[in-house]
Amino acid sequence: MNFCHKANALPSTSINRVLFFVALALVSGLGLSFGLHSMLVGHDSTFGTSREVPWGLLVSPYVFFACLSTGLCIVSSLAQVFGISTFQAIVPRTVFLAIITMATGLMCITLELENPWRVGFYALSSPHQSSNIWWKTTIYSLYLIFMVCNFLLLTLKKEKRAKVFAIIAFVAVTLGNLNMNSDMGLLSARGFWSENYMPLYFLSLSTLTGCAAILLFNWIGKSFSGQIAETKDDAALKATGKLFMVLLLGIFYFTGVKIMGGFYPQFTKNPEAMSLLVQGNFAPNFWIGEVGLAVLLPLALIFITRGEKTNILALAGISCLTGVFVLFYDLVIVGQLIPHYSQYNVVDLPKYYSYSPSLHEIMITTGALFFFLAAFILGEMLFKKIYNS
């Protein structure tokens, strides 16, 4: 049976679901239209970036969705690559989520560029093998293709062939994620990205967000289809919840390292940025977002309920995802606000550079988020039978 026959065999969706999808798609289109407008009139008049702070808000959702897709791929690989059967029930939806999250991340970075068409043209016509950005673009693009092939083979019930693409995608995206800090650290050679723990931090953070998204969107998917009774994927969700808790404890340790760097300069390579994050103007972001929403609240919810209630796990998931998005925004922006050569007391050099997201950047980010949500709802309508098979 081919893919088209399977799609046609699915039950028809209600008009309410279709209208919900259309509403999400319209909001997405409105937001993304600001990106097209920016390409026409120029980023200098529509973005809040500057020569001193060249990367703005749009880099944050790119990193967020790219890391989220990495985490989703890792969790799906526990069943497909490593043979842990407990996670098998959630593989199809997880793989689909990995595809749409990476597509969303690549869309964000595409709209952040003023001439995005040059990327594809020059990446193929004159590849620069010593360029971190070239490698990252190539790896993530190939990874997206591999995951699409993986998902299509899963829908055709060809698990052995799907496993081959799952292995290749897992290796590719893990390598890309472990080197995430290398291309980000190129930006004015700021030490905020070059801490020694960053590769392991990114891998742990990616897997954490992957678990959070699985807990949240599987619960939404069940609610969307009207499932109340326990299903066979509940065991997989509870196992994901346990992995989620372990990773939260790991991220709690890394957060403690950040706090140490913020109060004690000898523990960090960029004490000015870490102090700005932990004690300065970005302290609300750090303590409420990175510490409270990303780590402490999810941990409290899991400990109180012992990880047994899927609706509470979903609440912990959305809290974590919100906090991690704030974390990535801080990670992208804060290091850029420290002036070059600030340690040399240059005359008339400001203590900090300034940056605030423009309306265009906020609307493009909103459009990207609603694009992801619309794609998720479309998947729930088209692949419901595959998810529950």
Judgement on whether residues 377 and 363 belong to the same structural domain of the protein: yes
Judgement on whether residues 18 and 92 belong to the same structural domain of the protein: no
| Structural domain includes residue 222 | yes
* End-to-end Cα distance, the chain: 15
Q: Could you list the residue range(s) of the whole structural domain that residue 250 is in? A: 49-355
How many CA atoms, within 13 angstroms, populate the side-chain half-sphere of residue 346?
10
Using the predicted structure, report yes or no on whether residue 76 has a pLDDT greater than 60: yes
Judgement on whether residues 124 and 266 belong to the same structural domain of the protein: yes
| Structural domain includes residue 310 | yes
Contact, 155 vs 3, CB < 8 A? yes
Name which of 126, 68, 81 is nearest 322 in CA terms. Answer: 68
Lowest-pLDDT range of 142-151, 154-163, 177-186: 177-186
Judgement on whether residues 123 and 182 belong to the same structural domain of the protein: yes
Residue 277 CB neighbour total at 10 angstroms = 27
| Structural domain includes residue 318 | yes
Contact, 318 vs 218, CB < 8 A? no
Rounded to an integer, what distance in angstroms lies between the CA atom of residue 70 and that of residue 102?
Answer: 8
pLDDT tens, residue by residue, 183-213: 666 665 465 666 777 888 889 999 999 999 9
**pLDDT-above-70 percentage for the chain:** 90
Contact, 174 vs 70, CB < 8 A? yes
Instruction: Provide the pLDDT for residue 227.
Output: 63
Judgement on whether residues 133 and 267 belong to the same structural domain of the protein: yes
| Structural domain includes residue 281 | yes
The DSSP code sequence of 187-224 is GGG-GGG--TTHHHHHHHHHHHHHHHHHHHHHHHHHHH
Judgement on whether residues 333 and 374 belong to the same structural domain of the protein: no
Rounded to an integer, what distance in angstroms lies between the CA atom of residue 73 and that of residue 85?
Answer: 16
Judgement on whether residues 29 and 133 belong to the same structural domain of the protein: no
Name which of 323, 301, 376 is nearest 72 in CA terms. Answer: 376
Name which of 12, 2, 1, 5 is nearest 382 in CA terms. Answer: 12
Judgement on whether residues 29 and 112 belong to the same structural domain of the protein: no
**Number of domains into which the chain is organized:** 2
pLDDT tens, residue by residue, 1-16: 444 444 444 444 578 7
